[in-house]
Each structure stands twice: as structure tokens, then as C-alpha cells.
Amino acid sequence: MKLYNSLTRRKDEFQTHTPGHVEMYTCGPTVYHFAHIGNLRSYIMEDVLEKFLRYAGYDVNRVMNITDVGHLASDADTGEDKMLKGAKREHKSVMEIAQFYTDAFFSDCEKLNIKRPDVVQPATGCIDEYIKIVSSLLEKGYAYLAGGNVYFDTSKLERYYVFNDHDEEDLAVGVRDSVEEDQNKRNKADFVLWFTKSKFEDQALKWDSPWGVGYPGWHIECSGISMKYNGEYLDLHCGGIDNAFPHHTNEIAQSEAYLGHPWCPQWFHVHHLNTNSGKMSKSKGEFLTVSLLEEKGYDPLVYRLFCLQSHYRKGLVFSWENLDNAKTTYEKLLKRIAALKPEDGPVDQAVVAEYRQKFLDQVGNDLNTSMGITALYDALKAKTNDATRLAILADFDQVLSLDLLSKAEQLRQQAANQAKTESAGGYTITGEGDPEIDALVLRRAEAKKAKNWAEADAIRDQLKAMGIELTDVPGGAMWKRV
């Protein structure tokens, strides 16, 4: 596979330290609020990448952290702790907030068919790892103590700005948010490895350390967690594009200084989901969630399709109109699949293999997921029988995860359930073929025939209470759920 690498700034042939095996790391969510659908765009694309690698025959070990400590309002180590902010907002403890939003995140992931990584590690669970790394960085002279905190000294590196050739003078302190300069830093780009002093006194989670009671900086958690579960050689590191600087830049600085050798050669960054008013962000208050999409009647997989239709290295603009287009596409696709007849002959494995190879080549060109969607239409038009077409679609869906076959089967079932029940007297009930409802409708018809209006009305009320709308039609009745 060819994959764009933010480090080399070109599409490289994907390589791994151990042939056939991928050590993959993903920066997980900061669990102080619900994930917005922008965050989830990143996780959807990373999920497709993992599934594609498995589809291409790699064995993958994927690790993800959960940021439940240390992530301050500004990525440059200043401002309020995000977890504390969430806890105050909801009058709960930091750990309660963390548990609630971690569960909410994985529930959203499940709805979007995002596979749970092999290892999920909350940052608060690896304090010893961070202390080990920070101690070693101090010993090696890559870190210094100032004002009670431990800082990484970026001037000790030959090249710090690995992703962008920043002019150091251009780098305003705070990067994204304008914040005051930390006087303890020797160089503007230095960052905190361990805090014992911060601007806010009510920091909830603190641990003993050789430098006093405190808590880890945000960046050290990803290095520590990755080294613990991925080992010293990471093959692929993922995150949203805003993570490239300073977060990933700092991860590389501290990891390589600690290990004494290159750490991760391939970096995958997903570009942002934007609305017409700009980048979606948790800190801006109002934002779009999976639950909101559901409330508005969208299947979350429509959003997954929407993401897959565009390339991960391009910004994506969200609008309801764009989502509606994806919805129409999804429904039409399912209808076409539902019309295929599974039992129309044996699967032609040679044709499946030919399509599989094409899919590998096309999607394997820098994770071109929109070509993956186009491949579904090619499969529908393949010169073969329906059983083979379905086998190809099922094969592609291992990567795309759009539930194509099961949703199409649901559609087929629904159509079949538009069954008609004939009574002995020639009375026809048209509905979903539910025996309990049909029996009630029939009893009502008999009550009416016997001019027992009270019973007929009572049964109609009973059906209404069950959410059934009943319409009398010539020769029978029709019912549907409302």
C-alpha cells in the first residue's frame, strides 16, 4: 500500500519493522465532553486504515490512549485542565466525567462501526511509565526542572520541527490559543513533561513523583502508552491534523531522546471536518454529535459513508444538505443490493479474487476510500451472477463497514413482511404479517360483522395504544406501525 507520510511529505510505500506485522497507535479522545462528529471523522478514517491493513494481510496491534488527565485548554501547556473544566461544568468528579464520556465515545464508535482498538489505555493508568521516561530524560540532559515543573529542552535536538519547517520566531507561544508565556521555559518550544505547579490549585488528580506531587503533561502519555504496548518500534501513528503540532512533534522529541533511535517512521493525519462557520471544536460549546444525527433520523452509518466519500487529506465541509445526499446514496445502494438474489448460482471465486485485487490497488493508493465506494457500484455491475456480486460486496465491506448485506437483508425482510393474511371469509389484512396484530384486526372485523360496535371500538383503541394505525379498505383492512 502507498500512504502519505506527514514526516516525508510524500506518498511512501507502507513498511513495517517486522514483516507482516503493524504496530499502530492512535491518539484517543480527551474525555471531558462528547466526541463531536469531527473527532469521529478522524476515528472513522483510522478505523478504515486499520481494517484495510488487515484486509491486505497484515496482522495489526492497535493501541489507543484515553486522555483523562493533563490536557490543558491550550496544547502549549497553559490554561485550564480540560477534565477539570468538564467536572466543574457538570458538578461531578473528574473520574466520573472520564468514565461517562469514555463510555459515550465507545457507544458512538459502535454505532459508526468503528472497531475497538486492541488496547485502550486511560492515561491515568500508566503514571509509572511516564515517571520512568521523564527520569531518564533528566538524566540524559534532555529535560530540566524549573519552577517546580519538568520541561523538555527542545534546543538539545538537531531538528525539533519535524512536520513543518516552522520559523521559530513565527511560532507564537500558545500556538492555537493566545496565552501568556511560561517564564520557566528556556526556549519557546519547550514543553512540560511533569507538572507540580500549575496555575490552578484544584487539580484533582495528582501522583507522587521524584519531583513532588503532580501530574503528567499531555504529550508524555502517548509516548509512554505506546512504548508500553507497541514496544520501542512503532510503525504507524495516527491522529487529526491539529495533533501534528505541537502534540506529535513533542511525542517524537521525547520518545527519540529517550530511546536513542528513530521511533515511528510513518505518520497519518486526518484533515478536519468543518462547518460553514469553521472548524468544529469541543471547546466552542455547541457541536454536532452522533446522538443529534440519530435524533434527526439519520442512520449513523450515513455519516460513515459521508466520510468515506471524500479523501482523508482534504478538509470536509459538513452540512445537512451534504448529509442528505449521502443518505440518498446509502438508501439507493441498499435497495440495489436488496434486489440481488443470493441463491442464483455458485460464487465464482476467480471473479471475487479479481475484484479484490482491484480494490486493494485502488483503496491502497493512499487510502482512497471514495474509490472504495465506486468499487461497490462496479461490483453491482460485474458480469457475473448475483451470488458472486454479493460475495464481492461482502468482501469490500470488511473494510468499509457499512453493514451493506445485513441492511439490505432488512430491506428484503420488510418487503416480505408486507404480507397479506387472508381469513376464511375472504377478509384480507395487509400489514407486516404479525400474527398477534392480525388476530386483533380479524376479531374486530368479526365484532363489526356481529354489530358489536363497543368491542370493535375497544379493539381499535387497543391497537392504537400499541402504535398501530388501522385503515379499513374494501374487502379487508390495512395496518402499519406509526
CB of 457 to ligand AMP, least distance (A): 55
Residue 452 phi, psi (nearest 5): -90, 75
DSSP 3-state of 225:
helix
With binding defined as CB under 6 A, does residue 109 bind ligand AMP? no
> Is 29 a binder of ligand AMP (CB under 6 A)?
yes
Is residue 264 involved in binding ligand AMP (CB under 6 A)?
no
Question: Which of ligand AMP, Zn ion, none lies near 222, with the C-beta cut-off 5 to 8 A by kind?
Answer: Zn ion
437 makes contact with Zn ion (CB under 5 A): no
Which residue spans within 147-270 are E strands per DSSP? 149-152, 191-195, 215-216, 236-240, 266-270
Which long-range contacts does 80-87 make (Cβ < 8 Å, 24+ apart)?
Answer: 80/200, 81/198, 81/200, 81/203, 82/30, 82/32, 82/283, 83/30, 83/31, 83/32, 83/204, 83/205, 84/200, 84/202, 84/203, 84/204, 85/32, 86/31, 86/32, 86/33, 87/32, 87/204
Ligand-binding site membership of 327 (annotated): no
Of 369 and 388, CB closest to ligand AMP? 369
Beta bridge partners of 194: 150, 216
Judged by CB under 6 A, the stretch of 96-104, 277-285, 338-346, 459-467 that binds ligand AMP is 277-285
Q: Return the one option of Zn ion, ligand AMP, none that residue 50 interacts with (CB less than 5 to 8 A, by type).
A: none
Strand order in the sheet with 476-481: 420-422, 428-430, 476-481, 468-473
Q: Least distance in Å: CB of 203 to Zn ion? A: 20
DSSP state of 480: E
User: Which of residues 183 and 277 has its CB atom nearest to ligand AMP in the complex?
Assistant: 277
For residue 278, CA distances in Å to 36, 38, 303 come to 14, 11, 19
| Residue of minimal Cβ distance to ligand AMP | 240
Pick between residue 195 and residue 218 the one whose CB is nearest to ligand AMP: 218
Minimum CB distance to ligand AMP smaller for 229 or for 318: 318
Residue 136: other Cβ atoms inside 10 A? 16
Q: Which does 313 bind (CB under 5 to 8 A by kind): ligand AMP, Zn ion, none?
A: none
Write out the E strands in 184-330. 191-195, 215-216, 236-240, 266-270, 273-275, 278-279, 316-317
| Cα-based distances in Å from 426 to 71, 417, 474 | 71, 20, 11
- Give least dist CB 234 to ligand AMP, A: 16
Distances (CA, A) of 364 to 2, 29, 240: 6, 27, 20
Identify whether the C-beta of residue 397 lies closer than 8 Å to the C-beta of residue 375: no
Closest to ligand AMP by CB, 237 or 389: 237
- If one asks whether residue 280 binds ligand AMP (CB under 6 A), the answer comes out as yes
Q: How far is the CB of 11 from ligand AMP (least distance, A)?
A: 21
246 binds ligand AMP (CB under 6 A): no
Q: Is 27 annotated as a binding residue?
A: yes
Give residues 170-229 in contact with Zn ion (rule: CB under 5 A). 222
Cell of 98: 472520564
222 vs 470, beta carbon nearer Zn ion: 222
247 is in an annotated binding site: yes
Measured CA angle at 415 (ends 410, 421), to 5 deg? 125
> Does 308 help bind Zn ion (rule: CB under 5 A)?
no
Identified binder of ligand AMP from the candidate list 70, 86, 117, 239, rule CB under 6 A: 239
Residue 474, preceding peptide bond in cis (omega within 30° of 0): no
Q: Residues 42, 249, 255, 384: which binds ligand AMP (CB under 6 A)? A: 42
CA distance 103 to 63: 17
* 251 is annotated as contributing to ligand binding: yes
Residue 70 engages ligand AMP in binding (rule: CB under 6 A) = no
Cell of 406: 445485513
Q: Which of 51, 62, 248, 272 binds ligand AMP (CB under 6 A)?
A: 272
* Residue 21 touching ligand AMP (CB under 6 A): no
Q: What are phi and psi of 149, to 5 degrees?
A: -105, 160
30 part of the interface to ligand AMP, by CB under 6 A: yes
Under the binding rule (CB under 6 A), the answer on residue 39 touching ligand AMP is yes
Is residue 288 a contact point for Zn ion (CB under 5 A)? Answer: no
Which residues define the annotated binding site for Zn(2+)?
Answer: 27, 222, 247, 251
Q: Which residues bind ligand AMP (CB under 6 A)?
A: 27, 29-30, 38-39, 41-42, 67, 239-240, 242-243, 270, 272-273, 279-280, 282
User: Residues marked as binding for ATP?
Assistant: 282
Binding site for Zn ion (CB under 5 A): 27, 222
